Amino acid sequence: MNQAVEAFLDDVWQEVMSIYAKERKRIDELKDRSSLQAGIKDYVRVAWRKGKFAWANGKIHIDVYEPFSWGDDSYKMEAGSYITELTDELLTEQFFPALCGRMEQLFLSEEWGPRFFNYKFEVVFEFEWEQSKVMLTKKLLNEPKWIQLQQSLEQFIETKIFSDPPVLPKEKDIFFFAYHLVNPDMMQQKVEEIEPLIRRLSDKLTTNQERKHDWITQYTRAFSEWSEEHFLPQYFSRSEDYGSHWVAKEQGDHPPLDAEEMEFFLYAALQIGFTEPDTRKKYLELAVILGSKQAADYLKIGSGKFESTYRGEQIEARNNDVLQTIDIRILSEEETAYREALDYIIQLLRQDFPKGYHIKLKSSQKHFLPLKKLAKSKLHQFFANALSYPSLFPKLAEYAETAMEEFAWYNDVEPGEKSVMPGTYAVFGLGLYSEAYFPLVCRYMELVDTEHQMVQDSYAQAFIEAHGVKAEHMPVIVSILLGGNEEGRQVKNLTIDHPELADALVEALKGKEVYEIELVVCRIFGSVKKLSAAAKKADSPLKESLEELLGQL
């Protein structure tokens, strides 16, 4: 071997071994290994990056994780004078084969333990000259480890997916299972093979909505990565700013369209839409560019499960279950029009139309609820308009009972602090305008996801502005406070300054957990310490009632 090549290889290998020694310590400390993970390391890139003013003044870059295009987390090291003696021929015929040889020997051995390397490995080498660049890649496979992983996956599907409840997979296994669904080494990306697995696990997790939500997040993220890294790059190029804009390649620059892959891409787009509706729409539009009639139909009329147009006596409406949109045009601004619209939406939901829809509304009325944190969307406007007719309150309650679903959100705003659970606008309005719907408000507050929804924090203040602070209202006030975030602020207009109010609060908190009582106390008094101070200053019998409240903590 050429001496310059040997010196370059020795420097690189010494650095890789140093990095791996640190990585091995970290990997050995990991607990609860999943049977669906063959190992961790599956990539190394060695690169010579030329200097800014002279190519020979650059540095060696080493990556042990596949890097993002916009980042640079490489390990960097200086090179010796040998760097100027290297040529394309030496790099291609001597250095890269020798690097791959050493890497393959290490990869196939158990020197670093069974958890260190994955079943496959990619070696990448890049060398920048003044005006050119060498780029070489080699993929390695540990076949016994691959076969073992396939067997583990088959056993997992048989014992954890298709088995009867209450048997469920562990949380750590769900992550790897989701990514195996889109790994061609492990499974075929065919709808008829993947869909039953997704449906089966989703059905089994129905009794645990939080885990079901996590599962949906995992597999839709896997579908998104498959789309962005495998399917779309075959037919499109990314825009230069590395954003989400894709530019179609010329006809001769991409392979013929694979019908099965297109079918799976459309399926992935629909699944992704549950958590990222804008991404779903973008993917369908890209599929249309590739000539997919199915994608065009999805964008125009939806899946075909629902009659897409409706013309009634007082409204005209359209729906698209794929895009999760309902278009409503109010022909006459009166109670009967909104009743007809509510009946139309309720019927759709009962036929399994997505509850996380958004509305495109044409109406001359423009009402909104008196809550500052609520988004002033068309969906909000529709329900606020309907709430202006008290005769519609029972119909709005019927809608809310149909629509409410834990870990689901309307798509009327970008995902974020103003996202709300289906039924929110109807429930909030009914609770402000009529005492008859306080039980509905309580059911809503028990169901709402307090970790991921924030707008209900401001509802207590609006509720009290509407109804005041009364002893008979204390159970619903407590329910509203418990439905807020743990970081919810003190409610300024909620004052416990009469013994009957304090007694009602004590009664409403009976049977609650200590952390729940503390949350309510903090939202009313500011803190437990401030409650204690208020009790010391209060006169009897308010003093004794506040002390009894302290005694619950």
Q: Whose structure tokens read 């609006």?
A: 462
Residue at 440 is within a domain: no
Q: 115 and 29 in one domain? A: yes
Residue 189 has pLDDT above 70, yes or no: yes
User: How far is 321 from 229, CA to CA, in rounded Å?
Assistant: 27
Q: 283 and 313 in one domain? A: no
User: Structural domain tally of the chain?
Assistant: 4
User: What is the reported pLDDT for 242?
Assistant: 52
Tell me whether the omega of the peptide bond preceding residue 370 falls within 30 degrees of 0, making it cis. Answer: no
Residue at 446 is within a domain: no
Q: What is the pLDDT of residues 212-231, one digit of tens each?
A: 989 999 999 999 999 999 99
Buried b (16+ CB within 10 A) or exposed e, 501-536: bbbbbbebbeeeeeeebbbbbbbbbeeeeebeebbe
Residue at 135 is within a domain: yes
Q: What is the mean pLDDT of the chain?
A: 93
User: How far is 223 from 269, CA to CA, in rounded Å?
Assistant: 8
DSSP-assigned beta bridge partners for residue 325: 320, 358
Residue 173's CB is within 10 A of a number of other CB atoms, namely 18
For residues 444-459, give the mean pLDDT.
Answer: 92
Long-range contacts of 171-178 (CB under 8 A, 24+ apart): 171/211, 171/214, 172/32, 172/34, 173/34, 173/35, 173/36, 174/201, 174/214, 174/215, 174/218, 175/34, 175/218, 176/34, 176/36, 176/37, 177/36, 177/153, 177/201, 178/215, 178/218, 178/219, 178/221, 178/222
Token pair of 174 as six digits: 């769900």
Residue 312 has pLDDT above 80, yes or no: yes
Q: 114 and 27 in one domain? A: yes
User: How far is 78 from 91, CA to CA, in rounded Å?
Assistant: 18
Tell me whether the omega of the peptide bond preceding residue 97 falls within 30 degrees of 0, making it cis. Answer: no
In this prediction, residue 244 has a pLDDT band, given cuts at 50, 70 and 90, of low
Select from 301, 322, 340 the last residue of a domain.
301
Q: What is the pLDDT of residues 252-296, one digit of tens each?
A: 778 888 999 999 999 999 999 988 888 999 999 999 999 999 999
Select from 301, 320, 355 the last residue of a domain.
301
Q: 154 and 197 in one domain? A: yes
pTM for this model (two decimals): 0.83
Q: Whose structure tokens read 């396939």?
A: 150
- The arrangement of strands across the sheet holding 325-330 comes to 309-311, 315-320, 325-330, 358-362
| Range(s) of the domain holding residue 288 | 146-301
Taking phi over 0 as left and psi of -120 to 50 as alpha, with beta for the rest, 332 belongs to beta
Q: 87 and 193 in one domain? A: no
In this prediction, residue 240 has a pLDDT band, given cuts at 50, 70 and 90, of low
Q: 203 and 151 in one domain? A: yes
Q: 215 and 95 in one domain? A: no
Select from 245, 271, 301 the last residue of a domain.
301
For residues 353-360, give the mean pLDDT.
Answer: 95
User: How far is 495 from 501, CA to CA, in rounded Å?
Assistant: 9
The one-character DSSP state at 471 is: G
Q: 282 and 218 in one domain? A: yes
Q: Are strands 309-311 and 246-248 parallel, antiparallel or unpaired?
A: unpaired
Is the CB of residue 391 less than 8 Å from the CB of residue 335? yes
Q: What is the pLDDT of residues 80-97, one digit of tens each?
A: 999 999 999 999 999 999
Phi, psi of 242 (to 5 degrees): 60, 25
3-state secondary structure 242-300: CCCCEEECCHHHCCCCCHHHHHHHHHHHHHHCCCCHHHHHHHHHHHHHCCCHHHHHHHH
Q: 496 and 358 in one domain? A: no
Residue at 442 is within a domain: no
Residues contacting residue 479 through CB under 8 Å, at least 6 positions apart: 441, 442, 445, 446
Residue at 336 is within a domain: yes
Residue at 441 is within a domain: no
Q: 181 and 308 in one domain? A: no
241 versus 284: which is more confidently predicted?
284
User: What is the reported pLDDT for 107?
Assistant: 96
Q: Percentage of residues in the chain with pLDDT exceeding 90?
A: 82
Q: Percentage of residues in the chain with pLDDT exceeding 70?
A: 98
User: What is the reported pLDDT for 71?
Assistant: 59
Residue at 210 is within a domain: yes
Q: 459 and 553 in one domain? A: yes
Residue at 323 is within a domain: yes
Q: 177 and 262 in one domain? A: yes
User: How far is 82 from 193, CA to CA, in rounded Å?
Assistant: 54
